[in-house]
Chain A
Amino acid sequence: MSENIIEVRNLSKKFKNHHAVKNISFDLKRGEIKGILGANGAGKTTTITMLLGLLTPTSGSIKILSTDISKDRYKILNKINFSSPYVDLPKKLTVRQNLFVYGMLYGIKNINKKIKSVAKELDFENLLDSKVGELSSGQKTRVSLGKAVINDPEILFLDEPTASLDPDTADRVRTFFEKFCKKHNTAIILASHNMEEVTRLCDTVIMMKDGRITDQGSPNSLLKKYGKKKLEDVFLKIARDKSNS
């Protein structure tokens, strides 16, 4: 964990009258899992969407794997991936067909073998020939995560990855990501409201409020700094502190 694979500097996004992200800067190292915490509307999803290149920043710079994504984002797109509740996979295609199409888009060799291995790891082998539209929301989330790791990404962006999962499945998914990151040295940016998840998975945490970074550090350092026992209490203190507004 030394090399910076994401460098965000003075990033801002303004929509007409709303300043969604205000002058934020942070780094992500190879293999690091960084959580982005914040209340609804804090700017988490906007930040991730800018990092993915789906949204153009108003100002500031983003370097991913040493590439300025405002200049050549296509150079790095086969090395990243994401999963978000704001997008779906085509409902009329089967899980296998969807993964096959995305496998091709990411240039995966031996796609069928890869699909089987991903499905086994995320426990949806029995769903491969079901249409995505027929799956429960928890099953859809697992399939979406399968799509997110199909290219063994160097950086993974996860927006609320376990929001619709039952506790057992959510735990299995977290275990999967722990193993996946160790195996591939993958870095993750994780936006979540689940404090247990963040405490368990994340090496570092960014706290956001009203588009700004109000604090950042390791979960332990934040607990120590705010004199709290749980990250949720830190989150609540920051979210309710008017001086941060």
Chain B
Amino acid sequence: MKSIIRIFALVVRYFYLIKTSFPRILELMYWPTFQMILWGLISKHLTNSNDTAVLIGGVLIAGVLLWDVLFRSQLGFSLSFLEEIWSRNLGQLFVSPLRPLEMVLSLMTISFIRTIIAIIPAALLAIPLYSFSLFQMGFSLMLFFSSLLITGWILGIFIIAAIIRFGVSAESLAWGAIFTLAPLSAVYYPVETLPEWIRWLSLSFPQTYVFEGMRDILFNNNFNLNYFLKSVALNGVYAFIAIIVFLVSFEGARKRGGLINTGE
């Protein structure tokens, strides 16, 4: 119970940040909506009345929105942690009874809240603008959404472990690292489009199965349980590794004095 209160305390701390700043809320919603409008227009331009082409347009918008779930989830996680670095608050937090894993859980919670704030307006706006509803994917959307959210958190854990290890010089990873994965994640095209020699790498990422599964639903109206289970299993493996890396990095910071010295 005490642990839940501490997790909630940190969620409240991050929520205060969002609540008190309208530009922050606007910024959260702005990029996903902007991306959706842009990609919607591109796909509209590329399509004609041909049903398959319209479907391809929908797949592109779904790809944009689901990629943004992954990106926002990772960014929400990493940026909330960076707030502690920027405000030189890590030392205060880790002298309190807060455990490192409680901090991770609170970062996950606030990342979920930030992702919802970011994605829902864009997804809703796509319905009147392009007659495409992401929600037509139904329950399977929730499953894929959850899987991407977790993948984003895992990336976030790796990134904050790097920040704890290397200091603020590693903060740019929060914005850029995920884009190195984009070409290999099969967001807008199937894995078969990639050169054969690198497909194994793409298939080792949990998000690849989500995007493949998304296309299967939209093209064939088929929820491929196998894809979903593979993404869950890979998330499990990477989550385990990420937690270990984070704890090792945290203990390393305690040896070097990084918890009190890391800041702007």
Contacts and interface: CB of A to CB of B under 8 A. Distances in A.
Interface of A: 15, 46, 49, 52-56, 74, 77-78, 80-82, 84, 86-93, 97, 100-102, 104-107, 147
Contact of B97 (A82, A90, A107): A107
B95 A53 contact: yes
B95 A80 contact: yes
A56 B95 contact: no
Contacts of B98: 105
A80 B97 CA distance: 9
A90 B94 contact: no
Given A81-B95, A93-B13, A105-B97, 13 more contacts: A56-B254, A74-B97, A78-B97, A86-B88, A89-B92, A90-B13, A92-B17, A93-B16, A101-B16, A104-B6, A105-B6, A105-B10, A105-B98
Contacts of A52: 95
A102 B97 CA distance: 10
B96 to A, nearest CB: 4
Contacts of A90: 13, 17, 83-84, 87, 89
Contacts of B21: 92
- The 4 A-B pairs with the shortest beta carbon distances in the complex, nearest first, are A104-B9, A87-B91, A90-B87, A105-B96
A92 B96 contact: no
A92 B17 CA distance: 7
Interface string B81-109: 00110011111111111110000000000
Query: Which residue, of A46, A82, A86, A90, has the highest number of chain B Cβ atoms within 10 A?
Result: A90
A73 to B, nearest CB: 10
Given A87-B91, A97-B16, A54 B260 contact: yes
Q: How extensive is the interface on chain B, given as a class?
A: 35 or more
Contacts, number: 100
Contacts of A84: 91, 260
A104 B99 CA distance: 14
A54 B97 contact: no
A87 B2 contact: no
Given A87-B89, A89-B87, A90-B89, A49 B12 contact: no
A147 to B, nearest CB: 7
A151 to B, nearest CB: 9
Contact of B254 (A54, A74, A86, A106): A54
Nearest to A79: B97
B8 interface: yes
A87 B94 CA distance: 11
A97 B10 CA distance: 11
Contacts of A88: 87-89, 92, 263
22 contacts: A49-B257, A54-B259, A55-B257, A55-B259, A56-B255, A74-B99, A77-B95, A82-B95, A84-B260, A87-B89, A87-B260, A88-B87, A88-B263, A90-B84, A92-B20, A92-B87, A101-B10, A101-B12, A104-B6, A105-B10, A105-B96, A106-B96
A54 B94 contact: yes
B9 A101 contact: yes
B222 interface: no
B5 interface: yes
A231 to B, nearest CB: 28
B57 to A, nearest CB: 41
B1 to A, nearest CB: 10
Contacts of A100: 12
B17 A93 contact: yes
Interface string B166-192: 000000000000000000000000000
B91 A86 contact: yes
B210 to A, nearest CB: 34
A53 B8 CA distance: 23
A89 B83 CA distance: 11
Contacts of B13: 90, 93, 97, 101
